[in-house]
Amino acid sequence: MREADVVVVGGSAAGLTAAITARRHYPQKKALVVRSEEKVLIPCGIPYIYGTVGSPDKNLIPDAALEKNEIELLKTTATGIDRENKVLKTEAGDVKYDRLIVATGSKPVVPPVPGMDKPGIFTIKKEIPYLTELQKKLADAKDVVIIGGGFIGIEFADEINKIGGKNVTVVELQQHCLSLAYDDEFCAEMEKNVAERGVNISCSAKVSEIKGDGPFTVVIEGGSEITAEVVILGIGAKANTDIAVSAGLEIGPTGGIAVDRAMKTSDDNIFACGDCAEKVSFFGGKPSRLKLASIATLEARIAGANLFGLRRESPGTVGAWSTAVGGLAMGTAGLTEASAKAQGYEVVTAAAEGPNRHPGCMPDAVVTKVKLVFEKGSGVLLGGQVRGDASCGEVVNEISAFVQRKMTAEDIAMFQSGTHPALTASPIAYALVNAAEMAAGKMRSA
Amino acid sequence: MREADVVVVGGSAAGLTAAITARRHYPQKKALVVRSEEKVLIPCGIPYIYGTVGSPDKNLIPDAALEKNEIELLKTTATGIDRENKVLKTEAGDVKYDRLIVATGSKPVVPPVPGMDKPGIFTIKKEIPYLTELQKKLADAKDVVIIGGGFIGIEFADEINKIGGKNVTVVELQQHCLSLAYDDEFCAEMEKNVAERGVNISCSAKVSEIKGDGPFTVVIEGGSEITAEVVILGIGAKANTDIAVSAGLEIGPTGGIAVDRAMKTSDDNIFACGDCAEKVSFFGGKPSRLKLASIATLEARIAGANLFGLRRESPGTVGAWSTAVGGLAMGTAGLTEASAKAQGYEVVTAAAEGPNRHPGCMPDAVVTKVKLVFEKGSGVLLGGQVRGDASCGEVVNEISAFVQRKMTAEDIAMFQSGTHPALTASPIAYALVNAAEMAAGKMRSA
């Protein structure tokens, strides 16, 4: 029988990182990754297949990291777990493990709306043949509807629009696109940006039915209809727990595999990480539905380190991520003002903006705007949002660091940032620090 | 007699920020800035006057912030302080103060080398007429020598080279340019980059004399000579303490105005901040010679907040800054490996690199490389360096945050970063976290 000290089911961001971490922490242990995919897609890169990058084959997580870290790879489908005998069942036969890491990811959500499960209506599956099929359908389509205006929806819409000659519409249930990640003023700016690039955006629009068999008619509650040859669902994902459920592992309140802060499941020899695992929030430890590759890799670094002894515990998910459409980038970390209030926090917020170069006539200067959300009383940062150019992808990580270290408005007002004329705002106009200073002022006068 | 509750001498980064901070913290107090300049230059922007930006008048700190914060401005030269009567003496008459903030900046260092003080040899004075004169001289010059290969020297060289038709040479005393800020491997890469752009770089070269009266002959120890119509000294700056010395304020060990952690001088009613003030290092509290606009504004936010009661104390200067030449940007925060060792630290270092986009075929992808320096034993981060594209200006601020919060390699290995295909590395290849993970591994096996 094939065997390894550490067997990982799943070869995407979580599985790969867990295996690498296991090898780093326990170099004497043999590690094996079992995955069903011939090649593994970069999950966040999927929208870019359709415009910027050009094909699924250009959007792959390279297998080189497996070889470099001396991790064995078995391409087959896992079918079950014999926990008593510590054996992973696969289509290629049994694999004995000492420790098992389940990193089976997620599956697209398909809401119970009449017609939404029709063949020909696409979800965002992380499968090359499926996504290639979508690419073929898009080539001939004139009208495309994307249901769901989150990151994936917005990014898909813009990329498909880049192909040219298409009429692309995003249909979003909420009042704004991206509203789980940003406060309204940021959402509105991104919507305007995407609309100006030629994408139709329809918010507060609930799909009540999808009629036809291609072309489809998307029926919006209230009566309006949009016809499209291609309909894509980008509504979200749910934990893929099939193998865990069949093995009798406990499932958590949001439907993920139940894990403790060490990422250990209800079986002492089995860990879980990534989209398939249950999560708790950094803010108060309540169950969290966030699913991000960056969270998956953190959990993988925890699971991989803890396999043969407790070394790391999850502080809960902060949630830091970013997006970019055209020249406009936005990032968010932690709680928005709206989500903080919804969770019962009393908050003090402040926003500051300024050019991201100094002087403002330096090339590539755009306005960076930062909004920070603090807990009233403690003054601790709960979250922040930023808009500007590509650097926002890293500004949001500064904010994430501030959140994770529970910094107060006063602490951030005292932050020592490096600045440069060609790279950042001036030290006088550095928006992050100024927003904190303004919030600190509001707290003093409150 | 003119009077204000808060009088600030100096209108550059420190003075302006101190006045704004005073108004934010004590909105009922009247604030007045006294400065000798008609217009104030952005100090870090001075090199860009000569190429990218085009003229000193395009590199100004706008006065709008004074008006917006209702700060009075008096354009005159301060000549002395009557501490007993709390009066600032100026060429425009006496100004009574309740609290005085000295933010008189720095003056260029001119080393005692024969000929270096000749008229026609330029230093980096923050004065528009002087810099305009330099611009005129450069217009006619064919050969230009810049003595000093720090940030300013490198940036000046590249900008002057952009004018075209010139032969620009940087002469650096140390083995590498930028060696106070970066370890050798980073310095060497930037030197190569600058050289490939057409600038001559001569390291380990000590100027022994400057001969002639224009054109000048720069004589290097050992015998070689470089002739140039324009010679620029970019060697460093020393605290401008004239007014403080004449008023009998205490001076610190590196020549700055002595201050406590609240930025208060030896006179309870007088504060100092910025290049003119003495500094201590974040690492061990020893005297620090670092002079950066970003440090100046931090000190200004401390001084301004403490004028009428202790609200903030300086943790000492971390030192975070960045530079960019052509498409290559580099940032540094805290101690380099070399400087940490020189200060007696035992260190563990690790470097990681990867594309700053995912997949690597996304537009604008370049390699981001991060090197982190940890204290052995405690595992606490002492500093980090990064090379890559413009985002490095913010990556270095993530590193600065990690340093300021005394995060360990383990803490950083658990950092929750946001990632995006068009903006950052993948979460699997995020260099900052991977470098920390590698360093943590070295510490475990040590």
CB contact under 8 A, A416 and B395: no
Q: Which positions in chain A touch B386 (Cβ < 8 Å)? A: none
How big is chain A, counted in residues? Answer: 446
Is domain B121-233 classified as CATH 3.90.1150.10?
A: no
**CB-closest option in B60, B292, B427 to A294:** B427
The CATH number for A2-107+237-306, chosen from 3.40.50.1100, 2.60.40.10, 2.30.36.70, 3.50.50.60, is 3.50.50.60
CB contact under 8 A, A393 and B398: no
Amino acid identity, residue B381? L
Please name every residue paired with A329 in a beta bridge, in sequence order, or none if there are none: A324, A388
Q: Which CATH number is A110-233 given?
A: 3.50.50.60
The minimum CA-CA distance between B336 and chain A, rounded to whole Å, is: 15
The minimum CA-CA distance between A424 and chain B, rounded to whole Å, is: 6
Q: Euclidean distance between the first and final Cα of chain B, in Å?
A: 69
What's the pLDDT score for residue B132?
Answer: 97
Q: Does any CB of chain A come closer than 8 Å to the CB of residue B364?
A: yes
Q: Which positions in chain A touch B25 (Cβ < 8 Å)? A: 441, 444
What's the pLDDT score for residue A33?
Answer: 98
Nearest to A297 by CA among B380, B444, B419, B386: B419
Return the CATH fold of B329-445: Enolase-like; domain 1 (3.30.390)
Residues in Cβ contact with A164 at an 8 Å cutoff, skipping those fewer than 6 apart: none
**CB-closest option in A361, A416, A428 to B58:** A361
B89 phi, psi to nearest 5 deg:
-85, 135
Alpha helices in A203-258 (DSSP H): 242-246
The minimum CA-CA distance between B136 and chain A, rounded to whole Å, is: 22
Query: Which tokens belong to B243?
Result: 């007014």
Q: Does any CB of chain A come closer than 8 Å to the CB of residue B169?
A: no
C-alpha distances (whole Å) from A101 to each of A4, A120, A242, A243, A260 are 12, 34, 14, 12, 14
Q: Does any CB of chain B come closer than 8 Å to the CB of residue A396?
A: yes
CB contact under 8 A, B424 and A65: no
If phi > 0 it is left, if psi is from -120 to 50 it is alpha, else beta; for residue B188 that is: alpha
**CB-closest option in B322, B364, B423 to A418:** B322
Nearest to A107 by CA among A255, A212, A282, A228: A255
Report the greatest alpha carbon distance in chain B. Answer: 70
Interface test with A, best of B420, B438, B443 (most A CBs within 10 A): B420
Query: Which tokens belong to A225?
Result: 């209809």
8 Å CB contact between A441 and A413: no
The minimum CA-CA distance between B115 and chain A, rounded to whole Å, is: 32
CB contact under 8 A, B422 and A298: no
Nearest to B380 by CA among B400, B405, B408: B408
The pTM for the full model equals: 0.97
What's the pLDDT score for residue B445?
Answer: 85
For the stretch B326-352, pLDDT in tens is 999 999 999 999 999 999 999 999 999
Nearest to B386 by CA among B314, B306, B328: B328
Which A residues in the span 279-338 are in contact with B, Cβ-Cβ below 8 Å? 282, 292-298, 301-302, 312, 315, 317-324, 329, 331-333
If phi > 0 it is left, if psi is from -120 to 50 it is alpha, else beta; for residue A353 that is: beta
Which B residues in the span 76-115 are in contact with A, Cβ-Cβ below 8 Å? none
Please name every residue paired with B271 in a beta bridge, in sequence order, or none if there are none: B101, B264
For the stretch B194-232, pLDDT in tens is 999 999 999 999 999 999 998 999 999 998 999 999 999
Please report, to the nearest 10 degrees, the dihedral formed by the alpha carbons of residues B438, B444, B445, B446 taken in order: 100
Q: Is the dihedral of CA A138, A139, A141, A142 positive or negative?
A: positive
What's the pLDDT score for residue A74?
Answer: 98
C-alpha distances (whole Å) from B93 to each of A136, A409, B1, B5, B83 are 80, 40, 8, 17, 16
- The DSSP secondary structure of A137-152, one letter per residue, reads HHHH-SEEEEE--SHH
8 Å CB contact between B249 and B240: no
| Residue whose token pair is 């008593």 | A84
Please report, to the nearest 10 degrees, the dihedral formed by the alpha carbons of residues A146, A152, A154, A156 taken in order: -60
CB contact under 8 A, A401 and B396: no
- Determine the 3-state secondary structure of A433 from DSSP: helix
d(CA B402, CA B415): 10
Nearest to A372 by CA among A343, A405, A342, A396: A396
Cβ pairs bridging A and B (under 8 Å)? 259
Residue pLDDT tens, chain A, 446 long? 999 999 999 999 999 999 999 999 999 999 999 999 999 999 999 999 999 999 999 999 999 999 999 999 999 999 999 999 999 999 999 999 999 999 999 999 999 999 999 988 999 999 999 999 999 999 999 999 999 999 999 999 999 999 999 999 999 999 999 999 999 999 999 999 999 999 999 999 999 999 999 899 999 999 899 999 999 999 999 999 999 999 999 999 999 999 999 999 999 999 999 999 999 999 999 999 999 999 999 999 999 999 999 999 999 999 999 999 999 999 999 999 999 999 999 999 999 999 999 999 999 999 999 999 999 999 999 999 999 999 999 999 999 999 999 999 999 999 999 999 999 999 999 999 999 999 999 999 87
8 Å CB contact between B55 and B46: no
Query: Which tokens belong to A52?
Result: 């910027």
Angle at Cα A26 formed by Cα A23 and Cα A31, nearest 5°? 45
User: A110-233: same fold as A2-107+237-306?
Assistant: yes
d(CA A268, CA B258): 60
Checking if the pLDDT of B120 tops 90, the result is no
| Residue whose token pair is 């008189």 | B104
Q: Report the complex ipTM.
A: 0.96
Q: Quick one: average pLDDT of B394-410? A: 98
Amino acid identity, residue B233? L
Checking if the pLDDT of B446 tops 80, the result is no
d(CA A383, CA A339): 10
Q: Kindly state the DSSP code that residue A374 receives in the 8-state scheme.
A: E
What's the pLDDT score for residue B154?
Answer: 98
The minimum CA-CA distance between A143 and chain B, rounded to whole Å, is: 26
What's the pLDDT score for residue B392?
Answer: 98
C-alpha distances (whole Å) from A4 to each of A1, A7, A73, A79, A273 are 10, 6, 11, 17, 19
In chain B, where the domains are located: 2-107+237-305, 121-233, 329-445
- Closest residue in A to B316 (Cα) is A416
What's the pLDDT score for residue A445?
Answer: 85
For the stretch B8-41, pLDDT in tens is 999 999 999 999 999 999 999 999 999 999 999 9
d(CA A385, CA A193): 17
d(CA B149, CA A142): 58
The CATH number for B2-107+237-305, chosen from 3.30.465.10, 3.30.1490.100, 3.30.70.1140, 3.50.50.60, is 3.50.50.60
Q: Does any CB of chain B come closer than 8 Å to the CB of residue A25?
A: yes
- Closest residue in B to A15 (Cα) is B428
CATH architecture of the region A328-445: 2-Layer Sandwich (3.30)
- The DSSP secondary structure of A16-31, one letter per residue, reads HHHHHHHHHH-TTS-E
**CB-closest option in A53, A413, A424 to B359:** A53
Nearest to B421 by CA among A258, A158, A89, A22: A158
pLDDT-above-70 percentage for chain B: 100
